[in-house]
Amino acid sequence: MKFLALIVVLAISLNVVTACTPSTNGMCNPDLLQCCGLQLKSDLGLSNCYGILAFEPECHRQEIENMYINGISGLMKVCDDAVKVVSMYKQFGFACGAGFEGFANNDACMSQIFATKQTQINSCRAKFANNILADYKNHCMYFEQYTGCFNALFDHSSCNAESTWWGCEYARQSGRVVLHDCNLQCSTL
C-alpha cells in the first residue's frame, strides 16, 4: 500500500526539470522532441541504446527491464518516470480528445486560467501529493479534494460550467493513472 502511495506522489510531484528550450511559437519541432526524449532517457539512466525511446522500443524495453535487477529501487525508478509520463499523456489525451471542444468553446477564459493560476494549480498538485504520502488509506478522499481544487480554479472565473467540468476532468486524468479504485466522476452541475 505504501508503494502505491509513493507512486502516486511521484506521479503528481512537481519535480519536473528540463534543459530543453521551449517552443516560442507553440509548434513542436524535431530538435525539441529530440531534446525531451534525451532528457527522459537521462532521467531514467538509459545509455545503451541510441536514439529516442519511440524509435527503438525493444532496445529500451530491455534496458529498462535490466533496471529490475536492482530490486525495488530499480522498479521505483522506472515507475516514477513511467507514471509521470503516462499522467502527462493522459491529460494531453483528454485535452486533445474529449476535452477539446470544451476548451475551444471557452478559449479566452481557459487560456487565462493557465496564464494566471499556475501557482494555484501547482499548489493543488503538491497538496494532493503530500496528503497521499501522509495518509494513503484516505486516498480517494484526497483524490476528490484534488479534483475539487481544480474545479474551484476553473469555476471561480469568468468561465462557465463546461470549463468547470474540464478543470475537474483534467485533474482526474492525472490521478487515474494509478488510482483506479476511486469512483470519482466530474460533472457540470
Q: Which pTM does this prediction carry?
A: 0.69
pLDDT for 8 equals: 44
Phi then psi for residue 99, to 5 deg, are -90, -5
Q: Using one digit for the tens of pLDDT, what is the confidence trace for 124-172?
A: 999 998 898 888 899 999 999 999 999 999 886 668 888 999 999 999 9
CA distances to 27, 59, 66, 141 from 125, rounded to whole Å, are: 27, 34, 32, 14
**pLDDT at residue 4, rounded to an integer:** 46
| 59-118 confidence digits (pLDDT tens) | 878 888 888 888 888 777 777 777 777 888 899 999 999 999 999 998 898 999 999 999
Question: Does residue 12 surpass a pLDDT of 70?
Answer: no
Distances in whole angstroms, Cα of residue 22 to Cα of each of 19, 34, 50, 94, 107: 9, 12, 23, 22, 22
Identify the residue whose cell numbers are 493522459.
90
**Residues present in the chain in total:** 189
pLDDT greater than 60 at residue 1: no
Kindly tell me if the per-residue pLDDT of 15 is higher than 50.
no
